[in-house]
Amino acid sequence: MNVRITGTGSALPGKILTNADLEQMIDTSDEWITTRTGIKERRIAADGEYTSTFAAEAGRSAMAMAGVKPEEIDLIILATVTPDFPFPSTACIVQDLLGATNATAFDLSAACSGFIYGLSIAEKYIRSGAAQKILVIGSEVLSRVVDWQDRNTCVLFGDGAGAVVLEASDGDHSLLSTHTFSNGAYWNLLYQPGSGSRNPATDSRTIDERLIYLTMEGNDVFKYAVRGMEDVALMALDANGLSPSDISLLIPHQANRRIIDATAKRLGLDSDRLFTNLQNYGNTSSASIPIALDEANRQGVLKPCSKLLLVAFGGGFTYGSALINW
């Protein structure tokens, strides 16, 4: 049984926050942000817009492309680190918004690798025969866990969602493999200290010490991101007996232009085989790869039977890759 992506979708907030806007908020410059990260602007959720809002819109769009009705969906996997609530899972809220009444729905927490982890689980459900039609979504409203007083982090992140419909198929257009791994030794290099069971949101210390916001050791993250993305990309290539020259397009997690360029260089891939859109959206964590995949798909960049490599890295640390015969 093969597993095919039959639809892609994405959803982004209308509000744009440019580097020039950030210059008015904190001690930074467009020049610094552009040269260190490649980011020019990002989207920010408005009042009344939540992770479920964008997830449902992206899911609807992916189902429309696939020609799949909500009630045909067997499983909804929503990757996010910014759920609407600690519980119930945002996936259940999305199930309700979509009218996917026959689905099992759950959230998945693997930070920026969440979408690839979701693909990996979905692949196994379909190959085992446990599900036929699955919606995998990455959706984040990071603007609500970013410290807008911390210039080291707030310039990097944005909000949005991307989604795919996966279906059982006996054709050649298939997900060839998924690979994931984690390294929990470095969990504290990129995390949100407050609002869980260690530093509850109800504890005044959590607010006073700004523990509610995400925190990151940028230089260490950079180093482990480049090494890990190369490793997990090579796992995908080795498993399929392919070399980097066989890859038509690499869609990496859109964290930072320099991380992407360093990864591509280590893999020997030129810039014409790289898809990036982080200049427009910043780092949207689990949403970044499915948003980029949807843009590449709708722009006609993905040619039938071309080999597409998705590679992610995120807090945890977590790593993931997916190789697709489009």
Binding mask 107-136 for ligand ACO (x = CB under 6 A): ----xx------------------------
In 3D space, the residue among 38, 236, 214, 39 whose CA is nearest the CA of residue 141 turns out to be 214
The minimum distance between CB 30 and ligand ACO, in angstroms, equals 10
Contact region with ligand ACO (CB under 6 A), list: 94-102, 125-133, 199-207, 253-261:
253-261
**Quick check: 28 binds ligand ACO (CB under 6 A)?**
yes
Which C-beta is closer to ligand ACO: that of 98 or that of 259?
259
Kindly provide the b/e burial profile for residues 216-225, where b requires at least 16 CB atoms within 10 angstroms of the residue's own CB.
Answer: beeeebbebb
- Is 179 considered catalytic here? no
Strand duo 133-141 + 75-79: pairing: parallel
Tokens 């050791």: give the residue: 217
- Is 256 considered catalytic here? no
Site for ligand ACO in 224-243 (CB under 6 A): 225
**Quick check: 222 binds ligand ACO (CB under 6 A)?**
yes
Which C-beta is closer to ligand ACO: that of 144 or that of 298?
144
Amino acid identity of 70? P
Taking the C-alpha atoms of residue 136 and residue 299, their distance in angstroms, rounded to an integer, is 21
* Phi, psi values for residue 242, rounded to 5°: -115, 165
Among 219, 241, 245, 270, binds ligand ACO (CB under 6 A): 219
Residue number, nearest CB to ligand ACO:
218
CA 46 to chain centre: 20
Active-site hit among 253, 256, 280, 297: 253
Which C-beta is closer to ligand ACO: that of 10 or that of 153?
153
Written as six digits, the tokens of 3 are 């597993």
Written as six digits, the tokens of 79 are 């990757």
Amino acid identity of 129? G
Contact region with ligand ACO (CB under 6 A), list: 33-41, 196-204, 233-241, 300-308:
33-41
Site for ligand ACO in 141-200 (CB under 6 A): 151-152, 155-156, 190
User: At 92, is the secondary structure helix, strand, or coil?
Assistant: helix
Q: How many residues belong to the site for ligand ACO (CB under 6 A)?
A: 25
In 3D space, the residue among 158, 120, 137 whose CA is nearest the CA of residue 38 turns out to be 158
Taking the C-alpha atoms of residue 307 and residue 250, their distance in angstroms, rounded to an integer, is 9
**Quick check: 256 binds ligand ACO (CB under 6 A)?**
yes
Q: What is the CA radius of gyration of the chain?
A: 19
Written as six digits, the tokens of 322 are 């997916």
Site for ligand ACO in 279-308 (CB under 6 A): 283
Taking the C-alpha atoms of residue 139 and residue 213, their distance in angstroms, rounded to an integer, is 18
Contact region with ligand ACO (CB under 6 A), list: 5-13, 159-167, 215-223, 289-297:
215-223
Strand duo 249-252 + 15-18: pairing: unpaired
Taking the C-alpha atoms of residue 264 and residue 71, their distance in angstroms, rounded to an integer, is 40
Active-site hit among 19, 92, 112, 256: 112
- Is 277 considered catalytic here? no
Written as six digits, the tokens of 20 are 């020039």
**Quick check: 32 binds ligand ACO (CB under 6 A)?**
yes
List active site positions: 112, 253, 283
Which residues are near ligand ACO by CB under 6 A? 28, 32-33, 36-37, 111-112, 151-152, 155-156, 190, 216, 218-219, 221-222, 225, 253, 255-256, 259, 283, 314-315
